[in-house]
Structure 1
């Protein structure tokens, strides 16, 4: 899936996968704090062992916010947040809180952006809007889905695989 993998080696490092408007698919392995990522495009991902990571926290310079995928490879609980792109966010065995992020609504007649989020064996919490797919297998904990309201409710594309607890 990825054309290249780039690893962080220390706190505060800057990583760059490719030049502006390059469409290579890059996986960034981020296991250090305050790592900045500058990416030019393609379908890119972050694999992290940090217990909290937000794609929205990436610095915006040029096209650096083009990261779509986030997966947790650490231990314990994980809080993962997406951005305005079509995110795929994957937790692990802890009690994860996964949020596809905001700005997933149609813009100027374009199709809605749909996030896909999947927890694991823990008691997970999913923050969803009308354009979110939640994947959860039977027997993987007691999970909670919290619905956000917004303009996207005009075009619902919410698909949930059971069993989970729904809260509004």
Structure 2
């Protein structure tokens, strides 16, 4: 044990514990499995090769293991930012939000409590986390599958990598290459970023956003949400796998198995439903919404919107029809404005336009007397 000054302490051939005190100390363990107490940024630990299995106990918030030191344990409070060396390090954090980077060796990383980040750069690195010990993230340049009790995965580098989650609610984030991300169980968030990515949600209510590129998104079971920013993005859902929502900034047609659509851009886009009972919502831009078959609920948003109806359109509802909006009838459903008015009645606060018993349009909170010829197009 040293003093409050700058001490120079050397061990012997045994298993020594060297604590220089508060000063900027020089600690030399020599042979044996030595333990060093480091509490000053000026402390220097000296070890030689093959001189035992040595451990640093530190209260510093940032530390880099010197050569020939194997283990690091944080004994302070707050957060730790620690880096290992080329050996097989065991690095143990505390109760804070720790950042552990084992370096090039085969390392074991233990963050403890807090929202910890682990840098994994060797296929045999081991990350150990307890349940309910924070939201923890692995950053890696390797193909990687999350172990138990780790929530986040961030792929680094420029290689095309695959990342796999676990049964928790994971956040998996790709890099700029063509990644494959698979969430497995839990309500996962999958973010492809750049590249043409393949995202597989698995069970749970997942959020899938491929980012830029031509992405392939498949949610699996659960009420999934898809973010689409390219007309070449492919979204796959099986019927009965949940009530799924597609959020799009481009013109897009819902594939089979998808129920809902939300426009997320103020640009003019055309969005098309399918044979299910779709809920389709435009934005403040000029949206064109075509529900196709099924009993659809259509909301144009704040712009001058167009609602398209063709043969066998079902029993649809427009929630926000306004004077700037237009209803476009296809397939000769109605011949002109007079024909429409003859089939329109006031039902409470709504207007109901009936083509036949199976095909009706309800304009919520609107009046028959407000209809005019400019509200309709015919083809």
The superposition leaves residues 103-141 of structure 1 with CA deviations (integer Å, 9 ceiling, x where unpaired) of x3xxxxxxxxx2000001100000002231000011000
Q: Give the drift of 1:38.
A: 1.2
Task: Report the more deviating stretch, 116-125 or 2-11.
Answer: 2-11
Which of 33, 38, 49 is the matching residue for 2:41?
33
The question of whether the paired residues in 1 share the 8 Å contact of 2:137 and 2:150 is answered with no
Matching of residues 1-168 of structure 1 within 5 Å:
3-18=15-30, 22=31, 24-40=32-48, 41-55=51-65, 58=66, 65-102=67-104, 104=105, 114-129=106-121, 130-149=123-142, 160-168=147-155
Root-mean-square deviation over aligned CA pairs: 1.9
Q: Per the alignment, in what secondary structure is the counterpart of residue 127 of structure 1? A: strand
The TM-score normalised by the length of structure 2 is 0.35
Q: Per the alignment, in what secondary structure is the counterpart of residue 100 of structure 2? A: strand
Q: Per the alignment, in what secondary structure is the counterpart of residue 139 of structure 1? A: coil
Corresponding residue pairs, total: 139
The question of whether the paired residues in 2 share the 8 Å contact of 1:133 and 1:159 is answered with no
Tell me what 1:109 maps to. none
CA–CA separation in structure 2 for the residues paired with 1:120 and 1:3:
27
Structure 1 segments (4+ residues) deviating >6 Å: none
Tell me what 2:345 maps to. none
The question of whether the paired residues in 2 share the 8 Å contact of 1:89 and 1:117 is answered with yes
* Higher alpha-carbon Rg: 2
The question of whether the paired residues in 2 share the 8 Å contact of 1:7 and 1:29 is answered with yes
CA–CA separation in structure 2 for the residues paired with 1:160 and 1:11:
41
Structure number with greater CO (CA < 8 Å, separation at least 6) is 1
CA–CA separation in structure 2 for the residues paired with 1:9 and 1:93:
24
CA–CA separation in structure 1 for the residues paired with 2:148 and 2:19:
33
Q: Give the drift of 1:159.
A: 7.3
Distance verdict in 2 for CA 1:79–1:53, change over 3 Å: same
Structure 2: 5+ residue stretches without partners: 1-13, 156-379
Tell me what 1:111 maps to. none
Q: Give the drift of 1:160.
A: 2.8
Q: Give the drift of 1:167.
A: 1.4
CA–CA separation in structure 1 for the residues paired with 2:22 and 2:95:
26
Tell me what 2:236 maps to. none
Q: Give the drift of 1:30.
A: 0.6
CA–CA separation in structure 1 for the residues paired with 2:147 and 2:84:
18
Tell me what 1:108 maps to. none
Q: Per the alignment, in what secondary structure is the counterpart of residue 72 of structure 2? A: strand
